[in-house]
Amino acid sequence: MTAPGSTDLTALDAPLRTLFEAVAAADQPGAPDLAAIGTALVGLARDHDYLMPRVAELGTGSGMIRLHAPARGPRLMLVHRTAGQMSAIHDHGCFVALAPVVGVETHRLYRVVGSGEQARLEQISQQAVRNGDAATILPPNDLHDHGHLTGSGEAAYVLIMTGDDQSLFVRQEWDLATGRHKVLDVGVRGRWVSSEPF
């Protein structure tokens, strides 16, 4: 019998089972070992024999495939945003790790400067993430966007792991062009790409 919030890993394909066993060992309550989680995710991202058929299944359009999505706990998806598409600036309320299978994923981290009507975003880092690399973040310092910047290489097919179902948390979303901000209530997913109406 599995504990509340855990999942039966024996039903998973061997590569996913290996990943989630490593993540379970590293996901300590309140202090996940992000370096270990990132390393485990990179290990799966390098398994092209396993993942390239999933990449082909996803196709050339913008979208995602859920590879493992239990009711609670860490979950994994394969994501592709097309050339020039960036996500909205958002947070998750749980740890996040990403690792490209192929292509280059740009990952940018932000902080909020000021408060109320004077609040604005300030970019604090930008990382071009390639196969063999991972980007990891943990609340409360997890306000970020990611996707493809024109001129940065091929748009990535990227593994994204969240520490839980993000729709269970109240989250934040920002519009970089206008500086506007909104709260995403529990159950609200938010925008897929920054070009969608705010």
DSSP for 55-79? Answer: HHHH-SSSEEEEEE--SSS-EEEEE
Q: At 90, which helix (H) or strand (E)?
A: strand 89-90
Virtual torsion, Cα 143, 182, 198, 93, nearest 10 deg: 40
How confident is the model at residue 9, as a pLDDT?
A: 80
Could you read off the pLDDT of 15-27 as tens digits, one per residue? Answer: 999 999 999 999 9
Q: At 53, which helix (H) or strand (E)?
A: helix 48-58
Are the CB atoms for 117 and 169 separated by under 8 Å? no
Residue labelled with tokens 């855990």: 6
The residue that leads in pLDDT, 9 or 65, is 65
The domains of the chain, with CATH numbers, are 9-184 (2.60.120.10)
Residue 159 has pLDDT above 90, yes or no: yes
Residues 99-125 have a mean pLDDT of 93
Q: 57 Cβ partners below 8 Å, 6+ apart?
A: 65
How confident is the model at residue 7, as a pLDDT?
A: 60
Residue labelled with tokens 């060992």: 25
How confident is the model at residue 4, as a pLDDT?
A: 35
Q: What is the DSSP letter of 179?
A: -
